[in-house]
């Protein structure tokens, strides 16, 4: 979701939403520093966490150990770029205040089917250095009890077990840390020796270039796909040959080669194929899934028909080469110069790869 939406609009949308609404929110779209829990949320958040399962990384002393602590609950999912860009702040807060009575709890609520796999979530959490307790919420039970509405979601709970602040979306982390310090001070903790310093993400976790972000997330599966430009349109749930569009306007995309497009993702059926997207942003990412045989799938990225060079993302080299090994988000492009409308092309070397969603930053 783009950066300019008003807080009032978001608040109204959250109240009107159904039991489970799943949206990746961008910068500062949430309701920051609210003095009560969200509409229809539980009044006993610590009790909800204490009875939840399974824990992929447990609370020291067990979930009952959350009582009397200041707790931050973060709803996240490991393929969501908005969730990934929040991790540097959560890690830093855990490190700074973990011995002062703060417990950071991740609640992993999956967007895609592959994120239901506990082994894949655990692998991703390890690679992302998520060193705090982490709960798997495949059925959205905790999500619904908190009345959460998107990723990333943040809930600030005081030592008496009350939600004292919440937000949905990225941004305004400074006020989040101020609230943490306030709640810990109220709980009798001395923070005089804890230095507050700037927190900066690197690589895929770096803050988005919001000024130049002109492309929203774009799903490939037909359930949420928009602005598809290959001749003949998307054909659902069957293997079809696609051709490139004669031209792509901004935020449109196409396929070439033989693909099966399902609700959640498109699978390459042919020996080779490609996907293109016309975007305006510093960064371009694509969530990809590996082939069924488990062997890596090589791919090559080009920008406006040329190798990316210094504009390559963290998952490709300067010539544009990369490979799909795990089901996750892959950073294809990080531009170092001026930002303009560009076309990113991803060519795959063999069948079986799955493409889920483009995201930008």
Q: What is the pLDDT of residue 33?
A: 43
**Whole-number pLDDT of residue 26:** 53
- The CA-CA-CA angle for residues 298, 282, 286, to 5°, reads 35
Query: Which residues are paired to 72 by β-bridges?
Result: 104, 156
Q: pLDDT digits over 296-340, tens only?
A: 999 999 999 999 999 999 999 999 999 999 999 999 999 998 999
Would you say the C-alpha torsion 299, 311, 26, 44 has a positive or negative sign? positive
The CATH class of the 210-360 domain is: mainly beta
* pLDDT computed for residue 340 by the predictor: 97
Residues of the chain with pLDDT under 70: 1-37, 39
pLDDT at residue 160 in the model? 96
pLDDT of 43 reads 85
Q: Is 135:106 a contact under the CB 8 Å cutoff? A: yes
Kindly report, residue by residue over 139-157, the tens digit of the pLDDT.
999 999 999 999 999 999 9
**Per-residue confidence (pLDDT) for residue 22, from 0 to 100:** 58
Looking at domain 7-205, which CATH architecture does it have?
A: 3-Layer(aba) Sandwich (3.40)
**Please, what's the b/e burial string for 50-73 (b: 16 or more CB within 10 A of its CB; e: otherwise)?**
eebeeebbebeeebeebeebbbbb
- What are the sequence ranges of the domains in the chain? 7-205, 210-360
What pLDDT score does 284 carry?
98
């Amino acid at each position: 979701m783009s950066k300019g939406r008003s807080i009032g609009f978001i608040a109204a949308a959250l109240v009107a939403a159904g039991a489970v609404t799943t949206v990746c929110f961008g910068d500062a779209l949430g309701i920051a520093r609210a003095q009560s829990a969200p509409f229809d949320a539980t009044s006993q958040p610590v009790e909800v966490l204490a009875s939840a399962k399974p824990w992929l990384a447990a609370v020291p002393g067990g979930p009952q150990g959350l009582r009397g602590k200041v707790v931050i609950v973060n709803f996240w999912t490991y393929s969501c770029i908005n969730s990934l860009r929040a991790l540097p702040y959560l890690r830093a807060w855990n490190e700074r205040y973990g011995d002062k009575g703060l417990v950071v709890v991740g609640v992993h609520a999956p967007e895609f089917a592959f994120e239901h796999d506990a082994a894949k979530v655990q692998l991703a959490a390890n690679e992302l250095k998520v060193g705090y307790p982490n709960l798997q919420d495949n059925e959205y039970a905790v999500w619904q009890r908190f009345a959460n509405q998107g990723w990333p979601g943040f809930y600030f709970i005081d030592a008496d077990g009350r939600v004292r602040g919440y937000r949905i979306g990225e941004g305004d982390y400074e006020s989040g840390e101020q609230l943490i310090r306030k709640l810990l001070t109220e709980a009798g903790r001395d923070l005089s020796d804890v230095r507050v310093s700037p927190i900066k993400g690197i690589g895929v976790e770096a803050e988005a270039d919001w000024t130049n972000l002109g492309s929203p997330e774009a799903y490939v599966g037909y359930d949420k796909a928009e602005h598809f430009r290959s001749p003949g349109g998307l054909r659902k749930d069957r293997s079809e040959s696609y051709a490139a569009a004669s031209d792509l306007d901004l935020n449109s995309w196409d396929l070439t080669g033989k693909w099966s497009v399902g609700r959640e993702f498109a699978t390459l059926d042919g020996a080779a194929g490609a996907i293109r997207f016309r975007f305006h942003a510093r960064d371009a990412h694509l969530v990809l899934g590996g082939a069924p045989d488990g062997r890596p799938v090589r791919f090559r990225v080009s920008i406006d028909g040329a190798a990316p060079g210094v504009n390559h993302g963290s998952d490709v080299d300067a010539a544009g080469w990369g490979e799909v090994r795990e089901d996750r988000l892959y950073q294809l492009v990080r531009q170092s110069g001026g930002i303009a409308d560009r076309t990113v092309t991803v060519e795959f070397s063999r069948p079986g790869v799955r493409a889920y969603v483009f995201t930008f930053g």
